Chains A and B, each alone.
Chain A
Amino acid sequence: MSVDGGTLLAILVMALATVFNRTAGFFLMRLIPVTPRVRKVLDCLPGSVLVALLAPGAVHGDKGMIAGLAAAVITAKLVRNDIIPVAAAMAVAAATRAFLP
């Protein structure tokens, strides 16, 4: 259960960097006046972040990833429940990878 000094320092540097990332955007928005236009951009930000995370993953992904994402989209549109899209995506991806290599 030893902790090396250099390792601890590296971990602390990373911790500092992640805390900076987690707080900097919130602080900066204090300096930007929230006009109706800025408000609209901010309202569009969450969806855009999620799409920008998901779309390249789908393009670079294998058949299992694409089939699983499609299953998630279909089930998420059909039911208001978070477990079913996750379970469906896992099952479809696992099956696709097992049977359609």
Chain B
Amino acid sequence: MPRSAHTQTTLTLAGCLDGARTIFPLMPGLVVFAMAFGAAAAQKGLSLAEAGLFSGLVFAGLAQMVALEGWSTHWTAASLLALGFLTMTVNMRHVLMAASLRPWFAPLPAWQSYSSLVLLADNNWALAMRYHAQGGWDVGYFIGAGFVTWVIWVLGTLAGHVVGGGIPDPKAVGVDLVVPAFFIAMLLPNWRGRREAVGWGVAAAVAIVVSFLLPGWWFIVIGALAGALAGGFTDER
């Protein structure tokens, strides 16, 4: 793809450092959830090395927790296939998140855009979309935030595996609010008017209804698509 002279997309080290700093408010949530996964992995009989490889290679908290519940010691072709599909459905929202990054990341060479996307997680995506909505074009911001998330996720998993039990109940100290509250801080600056009122209203309504009707995590993808289409076809007056 020819790099057009007027592309604003950049990838700098300064951007990486900037993104790395902004993930700081998520620390308590990330550490506690990573430790909880490490402890759960130890309970299921995974070794320290296996738990570390798990978090390092998969890097998807929700999918890892769900997969661990049905973790087996004897894997067959059928159970591996089922595991792959389970992982894909739990994390289907990442398909939409990556799609939304296309206009921003597309001017980069493919090896840079695709290797950046391997670091895609809810947190650094949400952070980067707010940054981009406010006029930021440095992909490093996404990479820096994603890399720090990855490091904490892996180190927290190892720490949780070593410590085992005795991790504070996440709900008692409100740690389960860290990620949702952070998302709210990412979301609110995106409000511009009529289009958001329609799109977000449809997304909320559809996601809530689907969450009662279908098992699993389909409510995120179905609600988000419905909201984006409704908002995208709403014209500002």
Q: Give the interface size bracket for A toward B.
A: 35 or more
User: Of A7, A22, A43, A83, which one neighbours B50 at CB under 8 angstroms?
Assistant: A7
Q: Which residues of A contact B178 (CB under 8 A)?
A: 86, 89-90
Report which residue of A49, A56, A77, A97 has the largest number of chain B beta carbons within 10 angstroms of its beta carbon.
A49
Cross-chain pair count, CB within 8 angstroms? 301
A85 pairs with B184, CB closer than 8 A: yes
B67 beta carbon closer than 8 Å to chain A: yes
B185 beta carbon closer than 8 Å to chain A: yes
B195 pairs with A48, CB closer than 8 A: no
Within 8 A of B (CB), among A53-68: 53-57, 59-60, 64-65, 68
User: Of A6, A48, A76, A93, which one neighbours B231 at CB under 8 angstroms?
Assistant: A48
Within 8 A of B (CB), among A74-101: 76-77, 82-83, 85-94, 97-98
Q: Decide if the interface of chain B is mainly helix, strand, loop or mixed.
A: helix
Q: Which residues of A contact B185 (CB under 8 A)?
A: 72, 76, 82, 85-86
B129 beta carbon closer than 8 Å to chain A: yes
B88 pairs with A7, CB closer than 8 A: no
Contact A94:B174 (CB < 8 A) given known A8-B53, A69-B184:
yes
User: Of B84, B173, B204, which one neighbours A13 at CB under 8 angstroms?
Assistant: B84
Q: Which residues of B contact A12 (CB under 8 A)?
A: 57
A88 pairs with B181, CB closer than 8 A: yes
A13 pairs with B80, CB closer than 8 A: yes
Q: Which residues of B contact A29 (CB under 8 A)?
A: 99, 102
Contact A47:B200 (CB < 8 A) given known A53-B183, A90-B181:
yes
Per the CB 8 Å criterion, the residue count for chain B at the interface is 102
Contact A72:B184 (CB < 8 A) given known A48-B231, A50-B126, A89-B174:
yes
Report the bound CA distance from A14 to B60 in whole Å. Answer: 9
Q: Decide if the interface of chain A is mainly helix, strand, loop or mixed.
A: helix
Report the bound CA distance from A23 to B97 in whole Å. Answer: 10
Report the bound CA distance from A21 to B60 in whole Å. Answer: 11
Contact A45:B224 (CB < 8 A) given known A9-B80, A18-B58:
yes
Report which residue of B64, B71, B100 has the largest number of chain A beta carbons within 10 angstroms of its beta carbon.
B100
Nearest A residue to B99 via CB reads A25
Closest 5 CB pairs of A and B: A41-B232, A48-B227, A52-B223, A44-B231, A25-B99
A residues neighboring B (CB under 8 Å): 1-4, 6-26, 28-30, 34, 37-57, 59-60, 64-65, 68-69, 71-73, 76-77, 82-83, 85-94, 97-98
> What are 25 sample pairs from A and B whose C-beta atoms fall under 8 A apart?
A1-B47, A3-B49, A10-B72, A14-B54, A22-B98, A25-B102, A26-B101, A26-B113, A39-B103, A42-B232, A43-B231, A44-B199, A45-B99, A45-B100, A46-B190, A47-B203, A50-B187, A51-B224, A52-B203, A52-B204, A52-B227, A53-B207, A72-B177, A83-B25, A86-B29
